[in-house]
Amino acid sequence: MIHSPAPFITLSAWRSRFLFILLLLGFVGLAVRAAYLQGMHNDFLRQKGESRYSRIVEMSANRGMITDRHGEVLAISTPVASIYVDPTKVQASNEQLNELAMLLKMDVTTIQQRIAEQQRRFVYLQRRVLPGIAERIEKLKIPGVFLQSESQRFYPAGEMTAHVLGFTNIDDKGQEGVELAWQDTLTGELGSRRVIKDRKGQIIEDIENIRAPRQGQDLVLSLDSGIQYLAHRELTRAVTTHRAKAGSIVILDAQTGEILAMVNLPVYNPNRRTSIDQEKIRNRALIDTFEPGSTLKPFAVAVAMEVGEVNADTIVQTAPGTLRIGRRTIRDINNKGNLTVAQVIQQSSNIGTAKIALALPPQTLWEMLNRSGFGMSTGLGFPGEASGRLRAYNTWRPIEQATMSYGHGISVNLLQLARAYTLFTSGGELQPVSLLKRDSAVMGQRVISAETALAMSLMLELAVQPGGTATLAQVNGYRVAGKTGTAHKLIDGNYARNRYISSFVGYAPASNPRLIIAVMIDEPSAGQYYGGLVAAPVFSQVMAGALRMLNVPHDASPSNVVFFPAVSGFEEGG
């Protein structure tokens, strides 16, 4: 059988040319596109390729150290690691998971639940793991389980400096105290680098640094660790002995305004943040306010001397031991009769102080208290610092002007009170205070004349000597000046009958003041509550030790201390 050949399809000439042109254009387009991608726009291809093995990772920045004035470390960041997983990449046997759970002290079921979160690419298993544990986890070589370098804040002094330093959270951000106030200074800036990872997510090569990390700045505080320890020890002893609810102490360098120590009780340990009691974390010396009682009397007397109303020898009649103002009566503990102004301070007469204050225009007394720093922030910059309360003078009634002169109807924090006494240690100037170390003294703001400041200082010395209310504040070998205070606690707008604030503020050596110490004991309940019996002894012990540490020369004989326990510590003001 003869087969006929298959039909041969013949295209017309224009069609074959058109098809050829289309094919040619296609090849030309592909060539141009390839040249464009490989020669002129190769970033796209490189990015697509690198995205499969190249990653940008963060470079940690260390938080700055905090040290005391002598360079002793108070806060430092130590390296730790956080363990996280990429659930989409985890490949682990039951044995590996059990070992991982054992190292992290976690329930293996919890780990399995987190690995099962397939919709997420990043899940923490545990934050801040100790380096030794992290190293053992890394040796397990479980695909999808990674280590992230971090740091953890450590406070070598523990509870002794807790209220000043505060603490950081799990992300190393300041939450309280200095850590919060100077967060921007202490914190660094993260850097970044490009690395190559294998298919298991492990880094196998560093390619380049994109941005170098900026380390946090170190902070040098004005605190003296030795004096801080001394203050903490003596305050603890007093609060325990007198079964007090709380206590605070502030120590200022009278020459520079630096805070050398600040202690509060009760305390907490910032290295154990999971068990911190919120009631214990506040810095009571700055955040809590109280009525200062008789420690405010020197300011009413000082302004009266400044305007020429009285001098140290002016006689004030306090008999018969009571003073009626409107429907209220002011009392002294007994009938003191005629007193000089100096004796009004020495014996802490409410009536004497009230009469001196009432001889002044309300605005004059208010301006003195205001310029002494009451009713306003100290400018320290500490988070949550209270400004206290000083009501406008045009709202005062005569009884309020009288009681305010001896520390009722006004509220202060302990640092404000300590700072106000710089008027008497610096020749009449109110000194700015600082928690950072200063290289030199700074200029204060003049409030009273140097002559008035000296006269008041001599009166405050009398308060500590025999016949005064604070003989237990005396210090061997040093002249001491200061004032006691005892005030009923104000609770829900009413004065609690059997709850007191006991306080003492003083300085030494009185001839050339170096330290100012303010002590406040909240609700002593062991029987004694007068400031001269509860707070003054704390002042004496701390001042004696601190002056020795600073090698301050004596300005009195070693046998200058004379006690008269029968009268020591009793003052009006409550």
From 572, 99, 69, 70, select the one nearest 323 (Cα to Cα). 572
Length in residues, the chain? 574
| Cβ atoms of residues 294 and 332 within 8 Å | no
3-state secondary structure of 302: helix
Backbone angles phi, psi at 530, to 5 degrees: -65, 140
Catalytic residue check, 411: no
Which residue, chain included where needed, has tokens 């001394």? 230
| Cβ atoms of residues 504 and 535 within 8 Å | yes
Strand blocks (E) in 475-557: 481-491, 494-508, 515-522
SS (H, E, C) 486-498: EEEEEECCEEEEE
From 101, 60, 63, select the one nearest 83 (Cα to Cα). 101
User: Can you read off the two tokens belonging to residue 233?
Assistant: 């020890």
| Cβ atoms of residues 61 and 149 within 8 Å | no
| Catalytic position from the list 77, 151, 294, 348 | 294
Question: DSSP character for 10?
Answer: -
Q: Which amino acid is at 267?
A: V
Q: How far is it, in rounded angstroms, from Cα 476 to Cα 474?
A: 7
Question: DSSP character for 216?
Answer: P
From 314, 345, 352, select the one nearest 330 (Cα to Cα). 352
List residues with catalytic annotation. Answer: 294
